[in-house]
Amino acid sequence: MRITIIGLGLIGGSAALAWKQAHAEGRFPGGSLSITAVDTNPATLSLALERGIADRVTPSIAEGVLDADLVLLAVPVLAMGAVMKEVDRAAPVDAVITDAGSVRGSVITAVRMNARPERIRHYVPLHPIAGAEKAGLEFATPTLYRGATGVVTPLPESDLEDVALVVDLWRAAGLTVVEMTPEEHDRIYAMVSHVPHMIAFALMDMAVSSPESRTALAAAGGGFRDTTRIAAADARMWADITRANRTAILDGISRFEAALTHLKGLVAADDYEGYRTYFERTAEARREINSSLPPVQAGKSGGDAGKD
């Protein structure tokens, strides 16, 4: 199988490494494997060849997808439409297309608007819920997806065999795959990822805007470390995600504000039983899901960014 990865950053590079490893271990579901990498950065392409992450590299999408059996779009969500347009022109008509974007609704719309209608049956959106403290190919690792969840959001037109293939490929990379509708995906990831990022950014904003910020940040403990870890995320990527999932994010922020306003009211009234019950209920909920959350990964513990 010839896979072309467009955008060889942390996500695309880690997928390449994971598939190479699966292939070496006889677990690759697509038979033979050859990986073509397309990236605008020449240094990234050199590194990919040097490390054996890709078998072929090119800065040209048209050249890269020419004989692809499967194309993975691993570019920023706002770039998906433009990239799809070039892929559409050059890729074989039956090539399977998948993308790893963090947002579904607007990405699917962008892909639809930039591809021939007959291509859409070969398009399978699957979002791997994985990130790391640093962006870029140099941090790519074959283990990035191990123990993580992937969300496949097939379209009404999607060919079932193509869906099965994309799911199998990501499973071979380590993901546990669940299925949702694109709308469910966007509402849910606004709630468990995008809004928590907004909150972490706002918490840092509050802390750095304080006249005591230097003392405060120097004296912060592990609670602050963890609640703000994801605030170190790549600003550009998060601006793109914010634009791409704006409606669900605004709705999620409003729902969070309502939850905090309720708690603030209990504290303002010094309703001790009220806030104790609130804390008990939420603490219990947090403990219950503990075992289902992905473990802290070595190397992530420093507390930097995270895409997920």
Cβ-based nearer residue to a copy of itself, 161 or 184:
184
Does residue 260 interact with a copy of itself by CB under 8 A? yes
Interacting span for a copy of itself (CB under 8 A) from 47-55, 57-65, 105-113, 284-292: 284-292
Does residue 263 interact with a copy of itself by CB under 8 A? yes
CA dist 16 and 13 (Å) reads: 5
Interacting span for a copy of itself (CB under 8 A) from 17-25, 40-48, 152-160, 193-201: 193-201
Does residue 204 interact with a copy of itself by CB under 8 A? yes
Does residue 253 interact with a copy of itself by CB under 8 A? yes
Does residue 101 interact with a copy of itself by CB under 8 A? no
Residue 11: which of 108, 148, 114 has the closest Cα?
148
* Cβ at position 104, least distance to a copy of itself in Å: 13
* Cβ at position 144, least distance to a copy of itself in Å: 11
Residue 36: which of 81, 84, 74 has the closest Cα?
74
Does residue 294 interact with a copy of itself by CB under 8 A? yes
Does residue 181 interact with a copy of itself by CB under 8 A? no
Interacting span for a copy of itself (CB under 8 A) from 39-47, 61-69, 161-169, 182-190: 182-190
DSSP secondary structure string for all residues of 250-294: HHHHHHHHHHHHHHHHHHHTT-HHHHHHHHHHHHHHHHHTGGGSP
Inter-residue contact 238 to 202 (CB < 8 Å): no
CA dist 295 and 23 (Å) reads: 26
Does residue 126 interact with a copy of itself by CB under 8 A? no
Does residue 208 interact with a copy of itself by CB under 8 A? yes
CA dist 108 and 168 (Å) reads: 21
Does residue 106 interact with a copy of itself by CB under 8 A? no
CA dist 234 and 169 (Å) reads: 27
Task: For residue 53, report the phi and psi dihedrals to the nearest 5 degrees.
Answer: -75, -35
Residue 19 CB contacts under 8 Å (≥ 6 apart), including other chains = 3, 28, 33, 35, 169, 172, 173
* Cβ at position 56, least distance to a copy of itself in Å: 32
Three-state SS across 179-239? ECCHHHHHHHHHHHHHHHHHHHHHHHHHHHHCCCHHHHHHCCCHHHHHHHHHHHCCHHHHH
* Cβ at position 3, least distance to a copy of itself in Å: 24
Does residue 283 interact with a copy of itself by CB under 8 A? yes
Tell me how far CA of residue 294 lies from CA of 131, 147, 149, in angstroms: 11, 7, 9
The mark string for 214-243 relative to a copy of itself (x by CB under 8 A, - otherwise) is: -xxxxxxxxxxxxxxxxxxxxxx-xx--xx
Cβ-based nearer residue to a copy of itself, 139 or 278:
278
Does residue 191 interact with a copy of itself by CB under 8 A? yes
Does residue 19 interact with a copy of itself by CB under 8 A? no
- Applying CB under 8 A, the site for a copy of itself has a residue count of 105
Tell me how far CA of residue 180 lies from CA of 124, 125, 241, in angstroms: 12, 11, 19
Cβ-based nearer residue to a copy of itself, 10 or 97:
10
Binders of a copy of itself among residues 144 to 173 (CB under 8 A) are 148-149, 151
Does residue 135 interact with a copy of itself by CB under 8 A? no
